[in-house]
Amino acid sequence: MLSSSRTVCKIGRPALALIAVLACACAAWAFPKPASVPYKWELNFEPGDLRLYVDSDSSQAYWYFTYTVTNRTAKDQLWVPQMVLFTDAGEILDAGRDVPSRVTDDLLELLGNELLEDQNEVIGDLLQGREHAKEGLVVWPAKNLNVNELSLFVAGISGETARVKNPVTGGEVTLRKTLQRDYLVPGDAVARGSAPAELVTETWILR
């Protein structure tokens, strides 16, 4: 303990000043958090499972996710979800991009839910009440199957936003309240078949 104290004493004022500057810089990069109690409209979002599907014709794999969204906000809302999947291989996958319509149709048939709509059909007015709830299917290409951790970001559920200054450009950017769901895929993803990915955490962020 004494030797550690001496080391600290030798840092000197210039180094301490540098540490203080770095601390301030880190604080400037920190994003705000969503309000603990919602103060903007917020939809009721019921997530289903995140699973893997392998197309028998092309042997290409796809991640897919189902959900139900209900409007209980006392006002009709426009449902335009943005769902992005991050993998621990460094991939950033936008819903529907590089997904053949044939694959989406095959999944809809496989799931056998007449109320289920694909990521394009589901966009539109979301009327109030459970009877007007929408059920959606989202698909991403699984280009790299050597992954064990996935993060799904869902925006469009809440009207809460925050404006912050970009520390690099100095310009203002708008962050949206977003649901983050983190998953674990233990072992070989293909060998697991259609077993759902394991949900590890779920939290609200501003992104």
Cα–Cα distance measured from residue 115 to residue 135, given in angstroms and rounded to the nearest whole number = 6
pTM for this entry: 0.83
Per-domain boundaries in the chain: 1-30, 44-206
**The CATH number of domain 44-206 is 3.40.50:** no
- H or E stretch covering 82: strand 82-87
Low-confidence ranges of the chain (pLDDT < 50): 1-28
Q: What is the DSSP string of 7-70?
A: HHHTTHHHHHHHHHHHHHHHHHHPPP---SS--S-B-EEEEEEEEEEE-TTT--EEEEEEEEEE
pLDDT of the residue at 17: 43
Phi-psi region of 39 (alpha: psi -120 to 50; beta: other; left: phi over 0): alpha
pLDDT of the residue at 2: 34
Percent of the chain with pLDDT strictly greater than 70: 85
pLDDT of the residue at 3: 34
3-state secondary structure of 7: helix
pLDDT of the residue at 168: 86
Each residue's pLDDT tens digit, 62-88: 999 999 999 999 999 999 999 999 999
